[in-house]
Amino acid sequence: MFEKIWIEKYRPKKLNEMVGQEEIRERLSGFINSKSLPHCLFAGPAGTGKTTAALCMANELFGQKWKANFLELNASDERGIDTIRTKVKDFARTMPINADFKIIYLDEADALTRDAQQALRRTMESYSSVCRFILACNYSSKIILPIQSRCAIFRFSRLDKENIKSYLEKVAKAEKIKLENGALEVIIDISEGDIRKCLNMLQTAAVSTQSKITKDYILQISHRAESKDVRDLLNYALGGEIKKVRKKLYKLLFDYGISGEDLIKQIHKEIYNLDIDDEKKVKLLIKTGEYEFRLTEGSNEVIQLEALLAQFSVI
């Protein structure tokens, strides 16, 4: 049977069904209560609720007819600012239904060049009597100041583990999934505050096995190492225990199928969590950078990783 993807099935419909981002939700609720909305800029990492918040607003402001009043565009899909302008013009031509304005959600606004953003600013102004723009981007610094100053800016932060966990627990319960203790934590750990990644991973695991979802299973399907394994690897290296280093390294590369490039990224991240002084961390980071570069240039990943870890033991 075709199954709806969970990121859509469980996408919150109201702001108060979202988790985290409390301050943002409170400010946005204010707009809903007053039935007014300025142009907005939503900035923040992937999978933290930018699109979801915009859809919730449309839902709460416009009710059942929200689709007629909501246009979603993606700046990197559309062929340049001209297509965006044409679509905006067509959309703005008809009156909003049961409301004073329509909403245009422009995703990846930071993909537009500066010139295109200038043109966008003019478009925003021409249609501001009927349309409110919500621009979404990862970094607000990539949006030109004249646009920033015309928007209320909302900074979405990475969601914290507790919030993601409570959300995933609800989904797991609704889908009647059996989870090993700690499996959700592994999913959350790998996803770095991105709920979309978490949900996709959980769904992939759930459809590919009928039995209980274990930590190991998640690591295998995601081709990722558990943070603890990477920390162990680093500690063995720092202690000069090269046999243990090799065993652990091979387990990660060959049993879990993690690519050298992914593993080096995880090593880079875990260096910050090591219990060593900062001066030493700096040296490890510099070495990691060198070896990451060599890997991207295509050298043999096993040899490079072993060499990197050997360097760690003499730093």
Ligand X SMILES: Nc1ncnc2c1ncn2[C@@H]1O[C@H](COP(=O)(O)OP(=O)(O)OP(=O)(O)O)[C@@H](O)[C@H]1O
Judge contact between 109 and 81, C-beta under 8 A: no
Q: Give the one entry of ligand X, Mg ion, none that residue 230 binds, where binding means its C-beta sits below a cut-off of 5 to 8 angstroms depending on kind.
A: none
> CB-wise, 84 or 195, nearer to ligand X?
195
Q: Give the one entry of Mg ion, ligand X, none that residue 195 binds, where binding means its C-beta sits below a cut-off of 5 to 8 angstroms depending on kind.
A: ligand X
Rounded CA gap, 246 and 252, in Å?
10
How many Cβ atoms are within 10 Å of 35's Cβ, its own excluded? 10
State the nearest-atom distance from the C-beta of 12 to ligand X, in Å.
5
Phi then psi dihedrals of residue 254, to 5 deg: -100, -35
Span interacting with ligand X, options 17-25, 91-99, 230-238, 268-276, rule CB under 6 A = 17-25
- Binding ligand X by CB under 6 A: which of 37, 48, 66, 184? 48
Contacts of 80 (CB under 8 A, 6+ apart): 116
What token pair was written down for 145? 């100041």
Q: Give the one entry of Mg ion, ligand X, none that residue 19 binds, where binding means its C-beta sits below a cut-off of 5 to 8 angstroms depending on kind.
A: ligand X
State the nearest-atom distance from the C-beta of 9 to Mg ion, in Å.
16
DSSP one-letter code for 95? P
How many Cβ atoms are within 10 Å of 311's Cβ, its own excluded? 16
State the nearest-atom distance from the C-beta of 68 to ligand X, in Å.
21
Interaction pattern, residues 132-171, with ligand X; x per rule: CB under 6 A:
---------------------------x-------x----
State the nearest-atom distance from the C-beta of 110 to ligand X, in Å.
10
Phi then psi dihedrals of residue 131, to 5 deg: -125, 140
Interaction pattern, residues 46-65, with Mg ion; x per rule: CB under 5 A:
-----x--------------
Query: Distance from first CA to last CA of the chain, Å, rounded?
Result: 56
Rounded CA gap, 111 and 159, in Å?
24
Binding site for ligand X (CB under 6 A): 7, 10-12, 18-21, 46-52, 107, 159, 167, 195-196, 199
